Amino acid sequence: MVSITFQPTTEDTILFVGGGEVAERRIQLFIDEPCNIVVIAPTVTDRICQWAKDNRITWYDRAFTMDDEHHIITSSLFFICTDNGELNDTLYDMGKKHRVWTNRSDAPRACRFTVPSSLELGDLHIAISANNVGPRINRLVKQDMMNRYGQLQKAMPRLKIFREEVKLLLPTPEARQKFWRDHLTVETFEAILKGEWMTIEEKLDHEISGIRSKS
């Protein structure tokens, strides 16, 4: 298994066949991205319907037909989200035929790609995948990481500012790497996780101020 980050653009079309809760959860991942979302389904959830009314997605209010094959051909990602196994087989074969990255919700092991559970803590984005062991494991790991790394949400914005300051003050990558090896150690990281960020922030600020006064 290889993890790949997909960055949607305005040139990308994300296609969904099926409009149930599974499709809704997948659409939610892309709804704020600058891509074109197309849904083909005779019925959809209330939320998907509202997205269509708000012109945030394009919804074709009908069942998929062979005339819709061109939507598959022109899509960057293709999500099969129906409960019709025979139709899903056909759709998967069409995605494979046209070399489109295809995700089939009723057969995770048949997917060309999967969508991991994700955790966002401010600037920290963590993808979680249990390699198809089951969604329950994903949820438990996600909760554990939320508890474990929640304190990082306070530290990340300031660490980003510190990083930019160090880049300006230390001209070489080697010098910058040494600074962070010396001052953002395993012990420092553990202290942040324990809620001691303010103390660490003061120490980093002091070290950076010392470099600034010498330059």
Q: pLDDT by residue (tens digit) across 46-78? A: 999 999 999 999 999 999 999 999 999 999 999
Which residues, 6+ apart, have CB-to-CB distance to 41 below 8 Å?
16, 17, 18, 19, 20, 23, 59, 60, 61, 62, 63, 64, 82
- Contacts of 154-162 with C-beta under 8 Å, sequence gap 24+, read 154/122, 154/197, 155/192, 155/197, 155/200, 155/201, 156/121, 156/122, 156/123, 156/124, 157/122, 157/123, 158/201, 160/123, 162/204, 162/205, 162/208
pLDDT value at position 134?
64
Q: Is the pTM of this model over 0.85?
A: no
pLDDT over 70 percentage in the chain: 93
Q: What are phi and psi of 100, to 5 degrees?
A: -100, 135
Region 28-41: mean pLDDT is 96
Q: Are residues 79 and 15 in contact, defined by beta-carbon separation less than 8 angstroms?
A: yes
pLDDT value at position 153?
86
What residues does 15 pair with on adjacent strands? 38, 78
pLDDT over 90 percentage in the chain: 70
Q: pLDDT by residue (tens digit) across 75-120? A: 999 999 999 999 999 999 999 999 999 999 888 777 888 776 677 7
Q: pLDDT by residue (tens digit) across 188-212? A: 999 999 999 999 999 999 999 999 9
Tokens 């040139």, located at residue = 11
Region 11-24: mean pLDDT is 96
Region 131-143: mean pLDDT is 73
Q: Are residues 41 and 35 in contact, defined by beta-carbon separation less than 8 angstroms?
A: no
